[in-house]
Chains A and B, each alone.
Chain A
Amino acid sequence: MPRRGAPPEVNAGSMADIAFLLLIFFLVTTTIETDAGLDRMLPPIDDSEVVPPVIKEKNIFAVTINKSGQLLVEEELTDITKLKDKAIAFLDNGGAANGTPEFCSFCKGKRDVKSSDNPTKAIISLKNDRETKYGVYITVQNEIVAAYNELRNREAQRLYKRDFTDMEEEYSNPETSDETKEVLKKKIKNIQTLFPQKFSEAETSDGN
Chain B
Amino acid sequence: MSKFSKKKDGDVPAVSTASLPDIVFMLLFFFMTVTVMKDTSVKVKNELPKASETKKLEKKDRVITIYVGSPTEEYQKVFGKEAKIQLNDKFSSPSEVGPYILQERAKKSEDIQNVLTTSLKVDRDANMGIVSDIKEELRKVNALKINYTTYEGIAFDNLK
Contacts and interface: CB of A to CB of B under 8 A. Distances in A.
Interface of A: 12, 15-16, 19-20, 22-23, 26-27, 29-45, 69, 80-81, 128-139, 141-143, 145-146, 149, 165, 168, 172, 174, 203-204
Contact of A134 (B63, B127, B144): B127
Interface residues of B, number: 61
Contacts, number: 166
Given A129-B128, A138-B158, 8 more contacts: A31-B38, A36-B152, A39-B147, A45-B139, A128-B132, A130-B129, A131-B128, A139-B155
Nearest to A30: B35
A70 to B, nearest CB: 11
B142 A135 contact: no
B52 interface: yes
A138 B21 contact: no
Nearest to A204: B132
A30 B156 contact: no
B35 A29 contact: yes
Given A38-B150, A81-B156, A139-B159, A132 B139 contact: no
Contact of B131 (A43, A81, A137): A137
Contacts of B102: none
B32 A26 contact: yes
Nearest to B146: A40
B132 A130 contact: yes
25 contacts: A16-B24, A19-B25, A23-B27, A26-B35, A29-B35, A30-B34, A37-B55, A37-B150, A40-B148, A42-B138, A42-B145, A81-B156, A128-B132, A134-B122, A134-B126, A134-B131, A135-B49, A135-B125, A139-B158, A142-B53, A142-B150, A145-B53, A172-B55, A172-B56, A174-B59
B53 A203 contact: no
Contacts of B55: 36-39, 168, 172
A35 B156 contact: no
Contacts of B136: 203
B21 A19 contact: yes
A43 B159 CA distance: 28
A80 B157 CA distance: 12
B155 A204 contact: no
